[in-house]
């Protein structure tokens, strides 16, 4: 079983950083890398917000100042006519991610999402889902999942956790690189500091989106949090601390940095994992007090729940990483299949508990998705 720290070391991007020097490209990249389109036909819009929490100092900034965030929203659009296709990320952020993962230079500029930039949103109120990235990742890592949820009627808000994300570019041109320690002297203290900052970010974004200051109407009775890797741990702790969150979902993240594994949670929570088990998951299962599931995706790697497998092949990641690490990160599922599995189970979960819709997919194994094993179920 992967050791305690490994689920954080192998998060969104940080675990692959600087393991090997970038070698020569094996082949010319394709002209585009299209992310899978949403399974619903509804058009999707996206926009980016710069939010400043003047009531909270940034715990990681080298100089005192308020906590600044970049937040990307995906939402059902009224129309996308005349609106350009949104870029996957900015060129400067892409260059950082490509060095860290590592991908051949220019790979991420080829990735094409479905959403259209600045398209007008459908009238609300909309259920809200907060989406968190892994340690060293970024807000766009789960774009295909966010677009799927938006096409099914959700407002999805993905947060760049500043100084945690690989890179965050602000509207004034500042590029803030990730600055978390690779090997702190006290991992438990570091976990708690990072999770506390992330939870503060999520709660602030809820405040902003429900405060009537932005042009989106949120259904305050239908709010949830989900995240990949450490983003999943933050979703769990945010649920524990904020009753506004009705549900939580963790995509392959150890439940570090909070007391959640020992008291459990009292609202629905889903774990979708690549590993069979982990100490923090066992403890959570013993104490969870509401509907809960741990589902394991056979053949998945730690990054299979993100968009990064779609870029890994064209970007020649396998040429730059040891074979065992590549297998741990990307597994054996094809990128399209990994995205389909993740979308299906996440959508079933949020629809069941935020929209009271039947979700038989969560009741037992499905012949449509034989890769998904029910590791544990309650309720």
Q: What pLDDT, in 10s, does the model give residues 11-31?
A: 445 444 333 333 444 455 568
pTM, two decimals, is 0.94
The answer to whether residue 14 is domain-embedded is: yes
The answer to whether residue 66 is domain-embedded is: yes
Q: How many CB atoms lie within 10 A of CB 34?
A: 12
> Which residues constitute the domain of residue 203?
6-378
d(CA 103, CA 299): 22
Burial of 244 (0-12, 13-18, 19+ CB in 10 A): middle
Residue 117 has what pLDDT?
97
Taking alpha carbons only, the member of 21, 29, 108 closest to residue 319 is: 21
The answer to whether residue 350 is domain-embedded is: yes
* CB < 8 Å & 24+ apart, contacts of 314-318: 314/29, 314/30, 314/33, 314/104, 314/107, 314/110, 315/29, 315/98, 315/101, 315/103, 315/104, 315/107, 315/108, 316/23, 316/25, 316/26, 316/27, 316/103, 316/104, 317/16, 317/101, 317/102, 317/103
Residue 215 has what pLDDT?
84
The answer to whether residue 172 is domain-embedded is: yes
The answer to whether residue 42 is domain-embedded is: yes
Chain mean position to CA 284: 21
The answer to whether residue 1 is domain-embedded is: no
b/e per residue 73-107 (b: at least 16 CB within 10 A): bbbbbeebeebeebbbbbeebbbbbbbbbbbbeeb
Q: What phi-psi label fits residue 182: left (phi over 0), alpha (psi between -120 and 50 degrees) or beta?
A: alpha
* DSSP three-state, residue 40: coil
* Contact yes or no for 262/283 (Cβ under 8 A): yes
318, two tokens? 């396998």
Taking alpha carbons only, the member of 267, 373, 328 closest to residue 11 is: 328
Residue 156 has what pLDDT?
98
b/e per residue 351-365 (b: at least 16 CB within 10 A): bbbbeeeebebbeee
Using CA atoms, how far residue 91 sits from 17, 52, 316, in Å, is 19, 23, 19
d(CA 239, CA 195): 12
d(CA 262, CA 188): 15
The answer to whether residue 187 is domain-embedded is: yes
The answer to whether residue 38 is domain-embedded is: yes
Residue 21 has what pLDDT?
36
Helix (H) or strand (E) holding 51: strand 44-57
The number of folded domains in the chain is: 1
Question: Residues of the chain whose pLDDT is less than 70?
Answer: 1-30
* Contact yes or no for 170/90 (Cβ under 8 A): no
125 cis-preceded (ω within 30 degrees of 0): yes
CATH code of the domain covering residue 49 = 3.40.50.1820
DSSP-assigned states of every residue in 190-243: HHHHHHHHHHHHHHHHHHHHHTT-SS--EEEEEEEEEEETHHHHHHHHHHHH-T
Residue 162 has what pLDDT?
98
Q: How many CB atoms lie within 10 A of CB 117?
A: 15
């Amino acid at each position: 079983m992967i050791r305690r720290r490994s689920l954080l070391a192998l998060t969104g991007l940080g675990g692959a950083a600087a393991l090997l020097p970038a070698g020569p490209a094996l082949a010319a990249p394709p002209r585009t890398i299209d992310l899978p389109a949403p399974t619903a036909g509804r058009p999707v819009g996206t926009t980016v917000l710069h939010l400043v929490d003047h009531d909270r100092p940034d715990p990681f900034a080298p100089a005192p100042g308020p906590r600044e965030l970049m937040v990307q929203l995906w939402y059902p659009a009224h129309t996308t006519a005349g609106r350009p296709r949104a870029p996957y990320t900015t060129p400067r952020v892409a260059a950082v991610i490509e060095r860290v993962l590592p991908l051949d230079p220019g790979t991420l500029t080829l990735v094409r999402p479905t959403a259209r930039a600045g398209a007008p949103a459908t009238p609300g109120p909309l259920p809200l889902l907060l989406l968190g990235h892994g340690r060293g990742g970024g807000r766009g890592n789960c774009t295909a999942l966010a677009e799927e949820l938006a096409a099914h009627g959700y407002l999805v808000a993905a947060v760049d956790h500043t100084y945690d994300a690989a890179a965050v570019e602000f509207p004034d041109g500042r590029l803030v690189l990730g600055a978390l320690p690779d090997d702190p002297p006290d991992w438990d203290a570091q976990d708690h500091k990072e999770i506390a900052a992330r939870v503060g970010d999520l709660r602030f974004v809820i405040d902003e989106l429900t405060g009537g200051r932005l042009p989106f109407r949120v259904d305050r009775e239908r709010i949830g949090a989900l995240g990949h890797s450490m983003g999943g741990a933050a979703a769990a702790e945010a649920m524990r601390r904020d009753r506004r969150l009705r549900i939580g979902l963790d995509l392959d993240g150890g439940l570090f940095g909070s007391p959640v594994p020992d008291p459990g949670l009292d609202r629905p929570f889903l774990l979708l994992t690549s590993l069979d088990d982990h100490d923090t998951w066992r403890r959570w299962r013993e104490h969870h007090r509401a509907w809960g599931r741990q589902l394991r995706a056979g053949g998945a790697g730690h990054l299979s729940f993100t968009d990064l497998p779609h870029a890994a092949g064209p970007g020649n990641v396998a040429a730059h990483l040891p074979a065992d690490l590549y297998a741990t990160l990307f597994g054996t599922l094809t990128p399209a299949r990994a995205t389909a599995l993740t979308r299906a189970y996440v959508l079933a979960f949020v629809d069941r508990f935020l929209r009271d819709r039947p979700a038989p997919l969560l009741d037992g194994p499905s012949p449509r998705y034989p890769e998904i094993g029910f590791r544990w179920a309650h309720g």
